Structures are given as structure tokens and as C-alpha cells.
């Protein structure tokens, strides 16, 4: 059989179900632990039994040597098989079940022995240490085989050493005790193995229910698919544990929230800071498709609790859609303005045609000059005070749209902004949102007017937008900067309550502020301060600008 086919057969012999694999592994571990514990217990048991046997033999020898009659009989009587020393030694041997009790004189000649013919002969092992006054414990071989021995000196009444006592316990008895203990050890090991197997079965059953009886390969494949799915989708996913700490962030969530690996394991307030985004993800704000602003991004969040007490939140980037919605609003406004201008232009053409037919040529020339002059003066006023082309074009367009809605959009006399903005696009967003809100607030009211003021002081820029509308109640002046809050009816294509939130975020990103108060004469007054809005020192453009403006006035 080839190695490949053998390996294939071995693989086929292993169970695929995780329940069976875990059970087999845990039973094998329990069996290994039981065998190891039994071996570790048996290894020192033999030495312990040897030590106990030697101490027992020494104790018997000490008790025998402590009897004064044995020392006296050793000195007074000869070494015979029926002598008093032999009788007393045999009595002690029978009482203690020792293998032998040997009493010897100083020459090492036996005066007692279980075998009578050995009496009178020298001992088979060296008695030197015992006769020298030392107590001895040892395992040794003698005439009666391998024994555990204890030897002590034998002293007379005056304390002089007259001989020695040697007691032996048969080594077979020690081995028998060891073998007798083994079945009990195996019984305990078997019981422990049975308990371990039962515990392994219970754990495996629990794992089977929790993993739905999937194989390890299936779980590995699911994990790989989950990783690929989480990091491949274009939607942010944030997983939270039951304490509200972040346990998972996919690539899109890291990008949208501006977080890195250090955020994993931290709470939302620690990772994101206090604010609406943390409140939405933590579930402190409830609902579906909740809007929040993170940096310059408009996000839509949804939160779903999990069975373990945690939650999974999803994030979608609505920034581009929000921008498209605003562009659509602007386009609709421009279309309405162009439609109105077309109607007004037709009326003006009819008026001009009537003047010409009536041969009122001077009146016709004057009429055309007035019409053209109004539009030109507005554009020239904006271009003279706002040097940045993007911002100037925005205000010209807003003025046209506002005029068609019956709103007068004017620049303050104090307006003056050079062409050295750090973030022109950001300021365009701020001005556009504030002007749109102001025009919406005053449209349809009597004497509707919106005033825009842009001033530069060093590197700082201050934007103020005033209107003649109903104003903002004091209790709502902070609430209007909250994401998702609005007093206007929600349009079909996008959410409300984002513009002012973006204004404040853009201001705070540059270290500035955005606030609202009451304008002089009523209405609302929005003020945005940007401390680092301009680059470098202010160039000497005012004289040139005044000269250019004067030349243009002369040309007119």
C-alpha cells in the first residue's frame, strides 16, 4: 500500500464532526492524565515502601536491643539453638512477623537465627558499623535472600557494646504490598477516567449545540468567508461586546470613523469621543437609518443587538448622496430661477418692442440700461469685495435665486475677503448652507432680506449671515446644530438636519466656532469664526483693487 493511500485511509478513519473529534481528544487527554498520574504515583511508592520496611526493621531491632536480659544472656550463656537468646529472639520474630531477628556478639557470631544450624556462625553481612555504635538501615542480600534490614548496637547495663541486633523483613513482602496497591490505583485511575470521559461528553454536547454540529473545517471556512465578507463590503461594520467595547472593525468602518487598530478593546466614548456618533452606535439614540456626522462625512447608522448582549452597527457613507441632494436642490432652484427669468425676459422684450414701435427710442435705451445695470452692479459688487472666485460665483448665483424668490440678498458694507483661503471649498459649503437656510426662512415674508458679511482679520475670517425672518428661539439655538434636527419638512430625496451640523463641524475642524443669535431688528444672525482660514500675510491688494474698481467705474 502506498503512503498516499495509507494517509487517505487514516484520514477517512477520523470523524469529521466536531462533537466526535472533541470527545475523542478529551477522552485521550483524560486517559493520558490518568496513566501519567498512576505512573507518577507508582514510581515513588516502591521507595516509600522500602523506607517503611527499613524503618520497621530498625524499630524492631531497637526494641530488641533495649531489653537488658538479652545483653546479659549474650554474655553469660553460650550460642546454642535452645539458649535463652535464641528463644527470646524467636519470640520477638514471631510477634513482629519479621523475617529474622539475629543477635550477634562483638565478633559477629550469631547467637540467634531462624535456621538453627546458622547459630554459632558469623553473619553474612558486615556488622562493623552497628558494632561501632551506629544504627544502620539498608536493603541487602543475606542467607535468607533480599531483605530490608535494621541494625543497632547491643549494650549491657553499663552502656558497653557487647554485640548487635539485626532484624530483617523479607523483600517479597514489600513487593507484595506494592503489587497489592496497584489494583486500587488502577481503580482510582479508571474512576477518574470515567469522570473525565463524562465531562468530555457533556462539554462536547454543549459545543455541538453552540456550533450547530459543524466540522472544524466548516468553521474554519466560515471564519475565512466572514473575514473576506467583512473586509470586502463597502459598508462599515462595528461589533460591540456586552460592555459596549469595540471588538471588531472592518476596513470600511475604520475609514469612515477615522479609527485604527488601537480602537479595538476600547469603549465608544474613548475611541470616538462624546457626541452623536458614539450615542448612535452605543444605542443611546434609537431608531433606524439614523444620521450622524463624523468629520466631513455624513453617515447613516443602524444597530442590531446580538444574543450575547452585544450589538452590531452598520455604517453607510451618505456624504456623496447628501452632496448630490444639495446639488439637486440648487439645480431645482436654478431651473425655477431660469424659468422665472425666461418669463421676465419675455415681458421685458415685449416692453422693449412696444417702446420701439412707439418710436420712444430714448425711453427704450434708458430701459435697457436699467435692466442690464442691475445685474452688472450685483456681480461687480460681489467681485470687488470677494476676491476668491468660487465664493464670488456662489454668492452671485445665490443672489439670482434669492431675487426670483422675492428675497434681497446683499453684501454688507464691511465685507472684504482676499483670495488666499486655506480651504475655499469648505467655506463655500459653510456660506451656501447658511445662505440657503436664511433664504428659506424669509421667503414669502414682507420685505424679505438676507445680508452676508465676510471679513478678514490677519489669518482669521468671520462670516455673518443675517435675515429678517422669525428668528431662532433661545431654547433651540444649540439644538439646531444637532445632526438630524430640523424644523423643515423632509424632502423626498434626502434627509434634513445636516447643513448646520456640517457648518459647525467644518468650523470646529479649523479651531473655530459657529453660533446663532438674534439680529438687530429681529431675525436670526449666524456667525462663524475661522481663526486659520487665510494663508500668510495679507498682500497689498487693496490699492490695486480700489484703482481697478475706479477704472471700471470710469469705463461705465
- How do the domains of the chain map onto residue ranges? 67-171, 228-317, 321-555
Greater confidence (100 vs 12) lies with 100
Mean pLDDT of the region 59-76: 90
334: burial class by Cβ within 10 Å (0-12, 13-18, 19+)?
Answer: middle
At the topology level of CATH, where does 67-171 sit? Answer: Beta-Lactamase (3.30.450)
Grade residue 497 by pLDDT with cuts at 50, 70 and 90. low
Confirm or reject CATH 3.30.565.10 for domain 321-555, answering yes or no.
yes
CA–centroid distance for 481 within its chain:
32
Grade residue 511 by pLDDT with cuts at 50, 70 and 90. confident
With a cut of 60, say whether residue 550 has pLDDT above it: no
Phi, psi of 327, deg, nearest 5: -65, -35
Second-level CATH architecture of 228-317: 2-Layer Sandwich (3.30)
- CA atoms of 66 and 92, how far apart (whole Å): 12
- CA atoms of 451 and 464, how far apart (whole Å): 8
Q: Do 321-555 and 228-317 fall under one CATH topology?
A: no
Pairing of strands 449-457, 408-411: parallel
Mean pLDDT of the region 81-87: 90
| Dihedral over alpha carbons 90, 93, 99, 104 (to 10 degrees) | -60
**What's residue 424's pLDDT?**
83
Which 8-state DSSP code applies to residue 513? Answer: E
Task: Look at residues 457, 552, 465, 544 and name the one whose alpha carbon lies nearest to residue 500.
Answer: 465
403-440 confidence digits (pLDDT tens): 878 888 888 889 998 888 888 888 888 888 899 889 98
368-384 confidence digits (pLDDT tens): 766 655 555 567 778 78
* Burial call 380-407: b when 16+ CB within 10 Å, e when fewer: bbbbbbbbbeebbebbbbbbbbbbbbeb
Amino acid at each position: 500500500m502506498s503512503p498516499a493511500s495509507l494517509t487517505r485511509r487514516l484520514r477517512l478513519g477520523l470523524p469529521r464532526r466536531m462533537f466526535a473529534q472533541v470527545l475523542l481528544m478529551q477522552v485521550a487527554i483524560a486517559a493520558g492524565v490518568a496513566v501519567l498520574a498512576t505512573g507518577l504515583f507508582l514510581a515513588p511508592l516502591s521507595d516509600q515502601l522500602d523506607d517503611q520496611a527499613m524503618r520497621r526493621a530498625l524499630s524492631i531491632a531497637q526494641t530488641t536491643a533495649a531489653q537488658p536480659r538479652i545483653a546479659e544472656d549474650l554474655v553469660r550463656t553460650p550460642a546454642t539453638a535452645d539458649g535463652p537468646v535464641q528463644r527470646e529472639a524467636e519470640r520477638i520474630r514471631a510477634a513482629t512477623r519479621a523475617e529474622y531477628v539475629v543477635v550477634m556478639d562483638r565478633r559477629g557470631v550469631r547467637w540467634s537465627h531462624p535456621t538453627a544450624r546458622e547459630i554459632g556462625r558469623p553473619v553474612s553481612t558486615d556488622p562493623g558499623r552497628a558494632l561501632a555504635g551506629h544504627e544502620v538501615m539498608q536493603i541487602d542480600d543475606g542467607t535468607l535472600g533480599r531483605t530490608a534490614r535494621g541494625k543497632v548496637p547491643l549494650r549491657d547495663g553499663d552502656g558497653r557494646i557487647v554485640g548487635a541486633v539485626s532484624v530483617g523483613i523479607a523483600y517479597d513482602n514489600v513487593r507484595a504490598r506494592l503489587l497489592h496497591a496497584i489494583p486500587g490505583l488502577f481503580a482510582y485511575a479508571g474512576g477518574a477516567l470515567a469522570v473525565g470521559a463524562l465531562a468530555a461528553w457533556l462539554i462536547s454536547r454543549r459545543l455541538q449545540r453552540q456550533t450547530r454540529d459543524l466540522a472544524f473545517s466548516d468553521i474554519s471556512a466560515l471564519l475565512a468567508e466572514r473575514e473576506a465578507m467583512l473586509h470586502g463590503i463597502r459598508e462599515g461594520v462595528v461589533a460591540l461586546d456586552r460592555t459596549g467595547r469595540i471588538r471588531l472593525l472592518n476596513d470600511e468602518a475604520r475609514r469612515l470613523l477615522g479609527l485604527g487598530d488601537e480602537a479595538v478593546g476600547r469603549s465608544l466614548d474613548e475611541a470616538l469621543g462624546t457626541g452623536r456618533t458614539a450615542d448612535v452606535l452605543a444605542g443611546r439614540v434609537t431608531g433606524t437609518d439614523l444620521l450622524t456626522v463624523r468629520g466631513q462625512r455624513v453617515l447613516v447608522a443602524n444597530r442590531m443587538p446580538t444574543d450575547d448582549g452585544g450589538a452590531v452597527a452598520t455604517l453607510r457613507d451618505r456624504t456623496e448622496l447628501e452632496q448630490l441632494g444639495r446639488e439637486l436642490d440648487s439645480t431645482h432652484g436654478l431651473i425655477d430661477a431660469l424659468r422665472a427669468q425666461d418669463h421676465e425676459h419675455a415681458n421685458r422684450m415685449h416692453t422693449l418692442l412696444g417702446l420701439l414701435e412707439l418710436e420712444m427710442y430714448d425711453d427704450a435705451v434708458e430701459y435697457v440700461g436699467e435692466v442690464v445695470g442691475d445685474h452688472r452692479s450685483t456681480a461687480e459688487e460681489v467681485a470687488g469685495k470677494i476676491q476668491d472666485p468660487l465664493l464670488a460665483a456662489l454668492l452671485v448665483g445665490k443672489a439670482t435665486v434669492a431675487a426670483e424668490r422675492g428675497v434681497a440678498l446683499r453684501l454688507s458694507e464691511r465685507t472684504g475677503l482676499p483670495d488666499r483661503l486655506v480651504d475655499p471649498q469648505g467655506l463655500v459649503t459653510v456660506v451656501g448652507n447658511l445662505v440657503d437656510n436664511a433664504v428659506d426662512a424669509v421667503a414669502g415674508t414682507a420685505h424679505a432680506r438676507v445680508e452676508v458679511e465676510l471679513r478678514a482679520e490677519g489669518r482669521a475670517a468671520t462670516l455673518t449671515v443675517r435675515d429678517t425672518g422669525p428668528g431662532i428661539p433661545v431654547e433651540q439655538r444649540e439644538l439646531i446644530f444637532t445632526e438630524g434636527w430640523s424644523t423643515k419638512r423632509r424632502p423626498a430625496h434626502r434627509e434634513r438636519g445636516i447643513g448646520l451640523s456640517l457648518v459647525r463641524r467644518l468650523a470646529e475642524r479649523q479651531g473655530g466656532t459657529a453660533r446663532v443669535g438674534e439680529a438687530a431688528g429681529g431675525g436670526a444672525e449666524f456667525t462663524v469664526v475661522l481663526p486659520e482660514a487665510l494663508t500668510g500675510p495679507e498682500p497689498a491688494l487693496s490699492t490695486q483693487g480700489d484703482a481697478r474698481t475706479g477704472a471700471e467705474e470710469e469705463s461705465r
